[in-house]
Amino acid sequence: MALSPADRLREIQPFHVMALLSRAKELEAQGRDIVHMEIGEPDFPTPEPILAAAEGALRKRLMHYTPALGLPGLREAISRHYRNRYGVDVSSKRIVVTTGGSGALLLALGALVNPGQEVLVTDPGYPCNRNFVQFVGGVPCAVPVTAATNYQLTPELVERHWTSRSAAVMLASPSNPTGTVMAQDGLRDVLSWISRQGGAVIVDEIYHGLVYGTHIPTALQFSDDVFVVNSFSKYFQMTGWRLGWLVVPEAFVPHIDKLAQNLFLAAPTPAQYAALSAFDSATIAILEQRRAEFQRRRDFLVPELQKLGFQIPVIPDGAFYVYANSAALAPDSFELTRRILEEAGVAFTPGIDFGKNAPEQHVRFAYTTSVARLQEGVQRLAAAL
Ligand SMILES: Cc1ncc(COP(=O)(O)O)c(C=O)c1O
């Protein structure tokens, strides 16, 4: 008899952008030049001081398991980071080092959601969120968000969609795919309202640090009763090292410890030693230069896309994404991204990857390539449109 996959896989969707990316690679293998604006990771290499720390750790043969909660020194360095950057005291005891923000999201949902319980997520939103909810047996409740609320949940939207079956709300600021940030008052009010309902809030802050012309607070400034996800992938530019962290309420530390021991044993050891240098002033100086470069790219790309006929009702304040309405240019954004890749050699992501809220009218551009390449992309788009 043929082996069949488990039922839970039925609801989990692959990323459409992966099919686009592999087609782009095929075209490149045939000698075509492709401008990549679909990739959700920084194009910069991991900063040198982090690489040097990793090399030092490997030379010292530091490669055995660490405690499941992470290297104590790294948990303390993250705690200092909260004090230095946000002026907030977060005990290192509450900080858990994870296998990327992905591992942190899975641990938080695994520790919070019972089978059949609902979790509020934004639509559009990061596609893994709804898949992770489903993986732990929960039911994602996709709340449509629009430009009117910066593509973010508001206290009103949360109250409207919260039911007796709800366990948690997932927020992300800055968000993927929209790059928008959540209003400070809204964040504070959602935290206090959900806490009064006995529910949990998971705030994904993995694009913190990549914010332009504004400073945003961490949810930890407003509450100790929150689950905050962060990562070394984006601001620290360590995607392939698979390292992130999760801050949990103190009472949850033993639960998360138990779950982390069983699911992962520990985050990668060489990556943890490398990350000890991530908060050094020499590293931060490099990262801040790169942040300025991301801002230059955003400031170039947004008006150019608008001139081409894409509507961008909210100028993104962070991450490296522009979420644009393409309805004036094509009725189906999936078809549009396919056609532009074939005809013009420009890759960007169709809205379908981010939910069911008018995906055919939206696309996401990632400015994870140089201004010169973005310029080339825009010229080719202009010709093809
Ligand atoms: C909003 C958001 N959360 C979490 C992740 C997971 O990233 P990582 O596991 O590399 O930290 C991503 C990756 O793109 C993301 O966009």
CATH of the domain at 180: 3.40.640.10
277-301: b or e for each residue (b if 16 or more CB lie within 10 Å)?
A: bbbeeebbebbeebbebbbebbeeb
Task: Say whether both 38 and 96 belong to one domain.
Answer: no
Task: Say whether both 205 and 68 belong to one domain.
Answer: yes
Cα(210) to centroid(ligand 1), Å: 13
- Compute the average pLDDT of residues 101-105: 98
**For the CA of 232, the nearest atom of ligand 1:** 11
Within a domain: 79: yes
Cα–Cα distance for residue pair 58/111, rounded to 1 Å: 33
Instruction: Check whether 175 has a pLDDT greater than 90.
Output: yes
- Compute the average pLDDT of residues 128-149: 96
Please check whether residue 369 is in contact with residue 46, taking contact to mean a CB–CB distance below 8 angstroms.
no
Of 238, 262, 280, which residue is a domain's last? 280
Partnered with residue 120 across adjacent β-strands are 141, 169
333-364 pLDDT, tens per residue?
999 999 999 999 999 999 999 999 999 999 99
Q: Which amino acid is at 49?
A: P
Partnered with residue 203 across adjacent β-strands are 171, 228
Q: Which amino acid is at 61?
A: R
CA nearest ligand 1 atom 13, residue: 40
Task: Say whether both 275 and 326 belong to one domain.
Answer: no
Q: What is the CB < 6 Å shell around ligand 1?
A: 40, 100-102, 126, 172, 176, 204, 206, 231, 233, 239, 244
Within a domain: 199: yes
Task: Say whether both 151 and 206 belong to one domain.
Answer: yes
pLDDT at 17: 85
pTM tops 0.75, yes or no:
yes
Within a domain: 318: yes
CATH of the domain at 358: 3.90.1150.10
Cα(328) to centroid(ligand 1), Å: 30
**For the CA of 244, the nearest atom of ligand 1:** 11
Cα(101) to centroid(ligand 1), Å: 5
pLDDT at 235: 98
Q: Is 17 helix (H, G, I), strand (E, B) or coil?
A: helix
User: Residue 361 corresponds to which tokens in the numbers above?
Assistant: 């009218």
pLDDT at 14: 83
pLDDT at 11: 82
Cα(205) to centroid(ligand 1), Å: 9
Instruction: Check whether 239 has a pLDDT greater than 90.
Output: yes
Within a domain: 252: yes
Q: Confidence band (pLDDT; 50, 70, 90) for 18? A: confident
Instruction: Check whether 384 has a pLDDT greater than 90.
Output: yes
Show the domain range for 111: 62-280
Give the length of the chain. Answer: 385
Task: Say whether both 20 and 71 belong to one domain.
Answer: no
Within a domain: 159: yes
**For the CA of 105, the nearest atom of ligand 1:** 4
- Compute the average pLDDT of residues 39-45: 95
pLDDT at 168: 98
Return all residues near 104 (Cβ < 8 A) that are at least 6 apart.
96, 98, 229, 230, 231, 244, 245, 246
Instruction: Check whether 274 has a pLDDT greater than 90.
Output: yes
User: Which of 38, 107, 128, 353 is the best mutation target for the ligand 1 pocket, counting ligand atoms within 8 Å of the beta carbon and taking the most?
Assistant: 128
pLDDT at 234: 98
Task: Say whether both 320 and 252 belong to one domain.
Answer: no
Instruction: Check whether 13 has a pLDDT greater than 90.
Output: no
Of 230, 255, 280, which residue is a domain's last? 280
Cα(60) to centroid(ligand 1), Å: 31
Within a domain: 187: yes
Task: Say whether both 146 and 236 belong to one domain.
Answer: yes
Task: Say whether both 350 and 202 belong to one domain.
Answer: no
pLDDT at 215: 87
Cα(44) to centroid(ligand 1), Å: 17
Instruction: Check whether 212 has a pLDDT greater than 90.
Output: yes
Task: Say whether both 229 and 370 belong to one domain.
Answer: no
pLDDT at 381: 97
Instruction: Check whether 12 has a pLDDT greater than 90.
Output: no
Cα(318) to centroid(ligand 1), Å: 14
Percent with pLDDT over 70 in the chain: 100
pLDDT at 238: 98
305-326 pLDDT, tens per residue?
999 999 999 999 999 999 999 9
Within a domain: 1: no
**For the CA of 103, the nearest atom of ligand 1:** 9
Q: Confidence band (pLDDT; 50, 70, 90) for 123? A: very high
Return all residues near 198 (Cβ < 8 A) that are at least 6 apart.
none
Task: Say whether both 234 and 328 belong to one domain.
Answer: no
Q: How many domains does the chain have?
A: 2
Cα–Cα distance for residue pair 184/191, rounded to 1 Å: 11
Measure CA 230 to chain center: 9
Q: Confidence band (pLDDT; 50, 70, 90) for 19? A: confident
Within a domain: 55: no
Task: Say whether both 275 and 298 belong to one domain.
Answer: no
Of 280, 295, 321, which residue is a domain's last? 280
Mean residue pLDDT across the chain: 96
pLDDT at 10: 86
pLDDT at 214: 86
Task: Say whether both 139 and 275 belong to one domain.
Answer: yes
Strands 166-172 and 139-144: unpaired
Count of other CB atoms within 10 angstroms of residue 56: 14
